[in-house]
Structure 1
Amino acid sequence: SFLSKFNFLSVFGISLLGMVTNNLVQFVIGSFLIGSNAIFIFLPLVMTLGTFSAFANAFLAVKTHDIVEDFESR
């Protein structure tokens, strides 16, 4: 991905930044579609739950990478 080209971001940082960007874009487009900003009341909840999901996703990605790397070194 584009963000993986930057060495200062870890897998966790990339996952978290992707979650924030994805949720914000979806909320902005959703507010245009329904014609109201009321949808943004759910943003803190979605961001909180998304943070847990982003970290779980990054953790699984790191573990999968380690397993594949170990398998390839055999």
Structure 2
Amino acid sequence: MFHLFYFLFIGSVWVYSIYPPNYNQAVAGDVYCNKTLYLFAFWTTTLGYILLGLALLFGCCVCLCACIFGLAKD
């Protein structure tokens, strides 16, 4: 499970550090990205953060409801 967070972090550095990339390969000597591959990596990484945020929000809501309705045992 830890390796998923590691790859999410490293992927973020790789993907977000060059945003927006150069998609034009006609420029000689300049590094370019394949547009389809870059956008796939960008949205996969972004979706990972969205799902992580929703999971944390859901977990907090469950804990809050458990405390309010007395479902948590002491």
Fold match by TM threshold 0.5? no
Report the TM-score, using the length of structure 2 for normalisation: 0.45
User: TM-score, normalised on structure 1?
Assistant: 0.45
Q: Which has the higher contact order (CA 8 A, sep 6+)?
A: 1
Give the helix-richer structure, 1 or 2: 1
